[in-house]
Structure 1
Amino acid sequence: MRPVLRAAGVGGSRQRLRIEATGAIQGVGFRPFVYRLAASEGLGGFVRNTGDGVVLEVEGPVQALTRFVERFDTEAAAPMSVRARRVEEIDPQGADTFEIAPSTCEAERLAVVLPDLAVCGECLAEMSDPGDRRYRYPFTTCMHCGPRFSIINGVPYDRVRTSMRQFKMCTACQAEYDDPASRRFHAETNACPMCGPTLALWDVAGNERAAGGQALSEAVDALRQGAIVAMKGLGGFQLLADARNELTVQRLRARKGRPSKPFAIMVPTCDDAAALAEIDAVERALLCSAAAPIVLLRSRSDGAKLARAVAPGHNAWLGVMLPYTPLHHLLMRELGFPVVATSGNRSGEPVVASEHEALERLGGLAECFLVHDRPILHPVDDPVVRVIAGEPVVLRHARGYAPLDLALNGRETPDTACVALGAHGKSAVALASKGSVVLGPYIGDLDGSEARAAFARSIATMKALYGVTPGVVACDAHPDYYSTQYAQRQASEPRRVPHHLAHVLSGMVEHGLEGPLLGVAWDGTGYGDDGSVWGGEFLAIDAGRCRRVAHLLPFRLPGGEAAARQPTRAALGVLHAMHGEAALSMTSLAPVTAFTAHQRGLFVAMLGRGICSPWTSSAGRLFDAAAAILGLCSHSSFEGEAAIALESAATGAAWAYPLEAPVLREEGRTLIADWRPAVASLTRAIAEQVPAGPLARGFHEALADLIVAVARRVGMHRVLLTGGCFQNAMLALGAIDRLRTAGFDVRTHHRVPPNDGGLAVGQAAFALRPLIEEKA
């Protein structure tokens, strides 16, 4: 029976208002909030979820209605967020009761589906209370926390449309669900040990070794003894290991096929994180937020001991997160030490979500499996966030952040829906319709069959969840990307969107911007319309037009894509652009001596004749080259390894060696940013035995100065920094500070990743309202 209240029946004129609201208002206690607000003002009417938000009607005295609307606008607390509301007066119906009415499915726009949320403090307090019926229950949730996106299969958000539908609430839980005074009033994930999900520990054959609390205790014992445990979490499996145990972490690396990319770690408390890394106020708030991301933190030189294998090589940062589910909290309280908490997958594959799939795909990695019986409908990995220039920047758009709903600000073509398929790496899908675009969660690189299957499932999920059949398919312009080839199979004429323009548009959508604007799009690679590899681009956007107004001086990449894995190849291309064949005899430089005389002869021929050596303007490859020239990285086992080594060296330097400034020159209507003077002074300083750290710092500063120089020449007041290179905090901060000092309005990414993980947002914006591309 649905709870109701009696209208006060106070004298005076009566009115009835209808309010339609959209935003993050389903699954966050919004209907109970409205119910209690109406009760306190003595109003009649109803509130219900719809396919795109919430509709409510309230009736009563005019003064009470006025107070209700004012409080409606001011008292909704996070994670509730009303993005838009429409209020209209309708005829009174004589209602003297208020109720939470059954949901309906009609929709005028895309609904906002809330991301999964970390467990709240009140639920943690209950779990810690021996007298509470949820004491040590690993699936405790309420209206303010717990799974959302990972368990929903349709909107509006009701229990029957989640994977919790298989758990019938016991009498006590149902009473909470029906009680307006309870924070579990209409909490769709409500459960307890009597009626909710349960825990079990399996061996590698899938045999149950223990259940409930005993399963948790045995998993803790296994971790203490050096075992690798695969644990089913909120959005998928994690591989856990004692982060202090060198042999265990090395074994995990060998089994997972991940030779050097740093592992994320989980620590029991924020104080434990502070013992390992430097944490400022913004980073601390991120760690403790409802999103509970992995936060990239500066390692402490005097920090607590971790296995060297956690973050080997030249890396100044640790990826740290706190427990974010009741199960994680229970586990970490028992352990009391940091654990590696890496995605439950093999290298290059998507995260595993099903316990039976985990036995097959993770069987050779883990010694045991801590599982539960709450189905994960939509796998979602852990998010990664970094604070840059004092602001959080999402690098991996995942649990706690995805899906993300953004307004298109008039970019939509009426009655047209679009699915945008992103790039090949850091894949994520976006769906645009009815004036908004929704960015789905990170999938990964589309190299293997498992990742490609997950990509197809993500597209199907987005279409089904939001009830949209797209008439337009958007993709990257690169013909060899799997996402592009997939688009060609889905549509006869997919909208091919230039890679770096999509980067710029993704930032513009995030900030609700129109032109005029200068987009600085720097990354590792992108398909250029001249057939070369772009990546150091300056794009002017104005009046529905786009033009490439400047770019970095191109150089050849011997071996093409192989140069992304071997920074020494990029370095040879850079040196050849400066010195010609003589570059390959500069044996005082690390990238030259990395090859035999015979190999150097082959590279001379390749570079001189352009054999398997495409031109590139890539800022990412230029950073790789600098790292190799400084002897910091010769081989990359993961994307960005060389750039990370270069930034780490720069971050650890107390001063910057001043490099010669890059030069700007005009070729027709285009500015060419010639970086050769800076690299030439870099190589001279190496010969003078200047340490790598100050040189790395000087290189960052030279490129930040270059961005300002181009911006001054182009003359647009607003500048947007986008692309994977601006994940580099030193480059981004240097450019931001210099541009602002010079009087520019600078915008950067925050919620939409600056890397290819946010590309689909820009693709959708372009597909629904294309820009005219002007040639230089």
Structure 2
Amino acid sequence: MRVRTGIRVEGIVQGVGFRPFVHGLATTLGLAGLVGNDAGGVFIEVEGDAAAVERFLGGLSCPPPPAVIERITTRRLSARGGGRFAIVGSAVGGRRGALVSSDSATCADCLRELRDPADRRHGYPFVNCTACGPRFTIVTDVPYDRPHTTMAGFAMCAGCAAEYHDPADRRFHAQPVCCPACGPRLALRDRDGREMPGEPIEEARGLLRRGGILAVKGLGGYHLAATAADEAAVAALRARKRREDKPFAVMAPGLPSVRRLAHVGPAEEALLTSAARPIVLLRRRAGAPLAEAVAPGDRSIGVLLPYTPLHHLLVREPLVMTSGNASDEPIAHRDAEALTRLRNVADAFLTHDRPIHVRTDDSVVRVFGGGALPVRRSRGYVPRPLPVPAGGPAVLACGAELKNTFCFAEGGRAFVSHHIGDLENYETFRAFREGVEHFERLFGIAPAVLAHDPHPEYLSTKYALERAGEQELPLIGVQHHHAHIAACLADNEHAGPVIGVAFDGTGLGTDGTLWGGEFLIADLTGFERAGHLRPVPLPGGATAIREPWRMAAAYGVPNDLDVARRNAAAWDRVVAVGRAGLGAPPTSSMGRLFDAVAAVLGVRDRITYEGQAAVELEQRADPRERSAYPVRLDDAEDGGPSFVVPGAELVQAVVEDLRAGTPAPTIAARFHNAVGDLVVAGAVRLREATGLTTVALSGGVFQNLLLLERAVTGLETAGLTVLVHHRVPPNDGGISLGQAVVATARATSCAL
């Protein structure tokens, strides 16, 4: 019996070799028909023997990676006859819903061609195929076809066209296919944009060997590169980039090189070699052949492997590979912009003529519990959607001020954006607005609700308010720490309620004070503040965040300690400001408690990047130390399950140990262990009061692996189930996802 079936496939099925896969499957089974892209995904018609069509449908659901099938629907059609199966042109119009693939590291087949002197793509820095290469960063629209990418300006030569149209070729319908005859061209340029003589890769390598700094155009933007073992070169890069202390990432040529720099376990190796190729934070080896200026005083090092053919050709020894920007600016991705912004940083520019449509920073991950703990989710992962509860209106969640991402959510999918950065300057805010417009067009989502942080001074909040006024859209404000816990719930596909522990720097609380050391009873619709650190003054407001010694003063550290002597000129004034309360808003921040302890131990009085004091305190701690300072939960004045934690007692215990001559690494470890015990004590108390047995941990403080390990181990020992992040960061990069799922849940609840 001959039948014809119409099929619609939704998911990540464009730009991943899915149509060639369908063509091969249908041809093998002797079926006629067609396959094509449209704005919603892939449409297929197959005709032939009914049993063969059934086998086709069975095989269709198991495509090779990186394709991901979300839904397959079928309908019966009238048989037409004919024996050919063809890939047809993309259909225009229709509702948008096609998913765009993330950028993927160069595959093994393309690497073999790159290294084969007999191959026509030998040494060509833009080799790619259906299994690898640029995707998200070059896509301008859907459906995913060459005219809708930044490859549109490169007409295929006869050789590439033959591969593109050959069903037996692995470049069959590979949209970015190119070669030296027809594709992008590499060039080495000086600071004035003039092309320099010689072979670009060889000349660039020579510049790096001589201690120069090179700007390199990657997939999502420009990097700044220097030889990682060259102290003078790395120090010069720090000075020119105005990045005093924050560690640089290092790109190593291969795993053997990585192992000479750091300790690599199976989970780390899997992440390093994955198609996403993130920066992986590893434990640094003693005596690793790296300049001290790469990561001053840091026991860890961020390492990544080459993920483009250009990187494979350039990197012969470990190179610093850091974002192409000056401090606090977004990464440069347009050529003219890079030449202007980086001319005083780079000695030369290794660039090319394929435009980057979306600037996208490298992703950063740590390993915890045998899996990934994201620190920054960007290139290689975005724009892959995350599953969220379905129903409700389309939502645009505008995210936080620091480490900003935005998120579109509709129909059970959440599209969390690439890393935007800190919305503290015009350039970053412009990147935010451009990103929102691109996602809205790309995925065809017209938001019916806008979600935002209640802080009135966040630029993301101001954007939401402005847009809501212009388009008459409803607004849903989501408290910062509730958004953290909701993000963790969404990350784990859990609806709540849970005991939520949200520890971070600061976020505006519902009482108008600055929260940050919070125990919540929360689900996706709401929360109750069930416990928190006892508030202390934040002397000087934001200045206290940049100067952690002020938090030591706020926590009542005696003025005969070294931290007071180092800051004697302002100590008494800051203490007085804190007592008076004027210019010293109260805060329950756990991040600021870490700052106070770091300052007392002489780790850091002033910081040059966000969270630096806490990061270095973790580095200082002795992980072998298991003892802890005692913690206490005081009943809140209004009774009930609520409690407050006197953080000043922990600071006092640190001071007493310091006076007794206890080594700083031991003190730092005891403090970390105490905070872990505090998490357990608070969660156990709330379990007894509520009966809840699941705890969600979120907020930037839980990027601290020593604290996270202590807390998770203690909670599990106490018989509690623990949720941690594994797909979005616990820091403010995950806030937009939390806002989106809370807004969806509230809007759905109201509709019911």
TM-score range, shorter chain: over 0.9
Offset of residue 682 of structure 1: 2.1
Are 1:593 and 2:569 matched, yes or no? no
1:557–1:573 Cα contact (<8 Å) kept: yes
CA contact (8 A) 1:51 1:156 kept: yes
Distance 1:319 1:543, change over 3 A: closer
Amino acid aligned to 2:300 = W
User: SS of the counterpart of 2:196?
Assistant: strand
Q: CA deviation at 1:745?
A: 1.9
Mapped to 1, the partners of 2:40 and 2:520 lie a distance apart of 36
Equivalent position SS for 1:164: coil
- Paired residues for 1:538-553 under 5 Å: 538-542=519-523, 544-553=525-534
Aligned letter for 1:267?
A: A
> Which of 633, 642, 663 lines up with 1:663 in the alignment?
633
Determine whether 1:639 maps to 2:614: no
**Contact 1:260 / 1:637 at 8 angstroms: preserved in 2?**
yes
3-state SS, counterpart of residue 197 of structure 2: strand
Equivalences for residues 32-47 of structure 1 within 5 A: 32-47=20-35
* CA shift for structure 1 position 88: 4.2
Q: CA-to-partner distance for each residue in 1:581-602, whole Å, 9 max, x for gaps?
A: xx443x1x33322221x52321
8 Å Cα contact 2:482-2:526 kept in structure 1: no
AA aligned opposite 1:510: D
Matches within 5 A, 1:166-565: 166-210=153-197, 214-303=199-288, 305-313=289-297, 315-332=298-315, 336-410=316-390, 412-413=391-392, 416-492=393-469, 494-542=475-523, 544-565=525-546
**Equivalent position to 2:84, from 84, 97, 102:** 97
User: CA separation of 1:138/1:418 partners in 2, compared to 1, >3 Å: closer, same or farther?
Assistant: same
For 1:1-20, list aligned pairs within 5 A.
Answer: 13-20=1-8
Distance (whole Å) between structure 1 residues aligned to residue 467 and residue 182 of structure 2: 44
* 8 Å CA contact 2:272, 2:280 repeated in 1: yes
- Determine the C-alpha separation between the residues in 1 that align with 2:118 and 2:571: 74
Amino acid of the residue matched to residue 538 of structure 1?
Answer: F
Between 321-330 and 751-760, report the one with greater CA deviation: 751-760
Give the structure 2 partner of residue 131 of structure 1.
Answer: 118
Of the three residues 19, 40, 43, the one matched with 1:31 is 19
- Pairing 1:58–2:46 present: yes
Q: Which moved more, 1:115-124 or 1:457-466?
A: 457-466
Q: 2:713 aligns with which of 733, 737, 743?
A: 737
Moved more, 294-303 or 758-767: 758-767
Q: Give how far 1:772 is off.
A: 12
SS, match of residue 165 in structure 1: coil
Aligned equivalents of 1:591, 1:501: Cα separation in 2:
35
Q: Deviations over 1:157-194 (max 9, x none)?
A: 11110011111111111111111111101100100001
Quote the offset at 1:108 in angstroms.
5.4
Query: Unaligned regions of 5+ residues in structure 2, if any?
Result: none
Assess, with a 3 A threshold, how the Cα gap between structure 1 residues 187 and 130 changes in structure 2: closer, same or farther: same
AA at the equivalent of 2:456: P
Distance in 2, Cα, partners of 1:608 & 1:772: 46
SS of 2:5's equivalent? strand
> Within 5 Å, which residues of 2 pair with 1:598-637?
599-637=570-608
What is the CA deviation profile of residues 451-486 of structure 1, one whole-angstrom value per residue up to 9, with x for unaligned ones? Answer: 122112111211222233323222211111111122
Check conservation: 1:110, 1:434, Cα contact below 8 A: no
What SS is found at the alignment partner of 1:157? coil
- CA distance in 1 between counterparts of 2:87 and 2:637 reads 67
- Gaps of at least 5 residues in structure 1 are 1-12, 577-582
Cα distance in 2 for residues equivalent to 1:65 and 1:695: 69
Offset from partner CA, 1:52-81 (integer Å, 9 cap, x none): 32222222223222322222233x222111
- Which one of 747, 754, 757 corresponds to residue 723 of structure 2? 747
Alpha-carbon distance in structure 2 between the residues aligned to 1:519 and 1:59: 54
Deviates more, 1:191-200 or 1:610-619: 610-619
d(CA) in 2 for partners of 1:428 and 1:105?
Answer: 31
Contact in 2 for aligned 1:266/1:338 (Cα 8 Å): yes
- The CA distance in 1 between the partners of 2:91 and 2:481, in whole Å, is 41
1:143 aligns with 130
Indicate if the aligned counterparts of 1:499 and 1:526 stay in contact, CA closer than 8 A: yes
Q: CA deviation at 1:378?
A: 0.8
- Matched residue type, 1:100: I
For residues 525-554 of structure 1, give each alpha carbon's deviation from its aligned partner in whole angstroms, at most 9, with x where no partner exists: 101111111111122124844211221222
C-alpha change, 1:104 and 1:718, in structure 2 (3 Å) is: farther
Q: Which moved more, 1:745-754 or 1:252-261?
A: 745-754
Could you tell me the TM-score, scaled by structure 2's length?
0.95
In structure 1, the residue corresponding to 2:61 is in which secondary structure?
helix
| Percent identity of equivalent pairs | 44
Residues paired across the two proteins, number: 739
C-alpha separation between the residues in 2 aligned to 1:401 and 1:390?
19
Is 2:407–2:737's contact at 8 Å kept on the other side of the alignment?
Answer: yes
Give, in whole Å, the separation in 2 of the partners of 1:566 and 1:18: 64
Tell me by how many angstroms 1:271 deviates: 0.9
1:710-744 deviations in Å (ceiling 9; x for gaps): 22122212211111111111111222222222222
Any conservation in 2 of the 1:544–1:772 contact (CA below 8 Å)?
A: no
- 1:771 to 1:689, Cα distance in 2 relative to 1, 3 A: farther
CA contact 1:662–1:676 (8 Å) conserved in 2: no
Do the aligned partners of 2:99 and 2:443 also contact (CA within 8 Å) in 1?
no
Q: Per the alignment, in what secondary structure is the counterpart of residue 73 of structure 2?
A: strand
CA contact (8 A) 1:568 1:594 kept: no
* Equivalent residues of 1:536, 1:552 under 8 A apart: yes
The answer to whether the 8 Å contact 2:633/2:643 transfers is no
Residue 86 of structure 1 deviates from its aligned partner by 2.7
TM-score w.r.t. length of structure 1: 0.92
Amino acid at match of 1:756: D
- Distance apart, 1:320 and its partner CA: 0.7
Supply the AA of the counterpart residue of 1:702.
Answer: A
Distance 1:238 1:545, change over 3 A: closer
Equivalent-residue separation in structure 2 for 1:78 and 1:756 (angstroms): 30
Amino acid at match of 1:307: A
| 1:68-117: CA deviation from partner (whole Å, max 9, x where unpaired) | 2222233x222111123234444444353222222225555643211111
- 8 Å Cα contact 1:720-1:746 kept in structure 2: yes
2:346 match: secondary structure: coil
Counterpart AA for 1:320: V
Q: Distance in 1 between matches of 2:201 and 2:575?
A: 61
Deviation at 1:667, TM superposition (A): 3.5
Could you say if the C-alpha distance between residues 301 and 488 of structure 1 is closer, same or farther in structure 2, counting changes exceeding 3 Å?
same
Residue by residue over 1:193-226, the C-alpha shift from the partner in whole angstroms, topping out at 9 and shown as x without a partner, is 0110000111111111136xx0111111111111
Report the secondary structure of 2:571's partner residue.
helix
Deviation string 1:355-395 (CA, Å, 9 cap, x unpaired) is 21111111111111111000111111111111122211221
* Equivalent pair of 2:396/2:450 in contact (CA under 8 Å): yes
Q: How much does 1:302 deviate?
A: 3.2
Cα distance in 1 for partners of 2:78, 2:592 equals: 66
Q: Return the offset for 1:771.
A: 8.2
User: 8 Å contact 2:524–2:745 — kept in the other structure?
Assistant: no
One-letter amino acid of the counterpart of residue 293, structure 2: A
Pairwise CA distance, 1:558: 1.2
Matching of residue 49 in structure 1 with residue 25 in structure 2: no
Deviation of 1:664 after TM superposition, in Å, equals 4.3
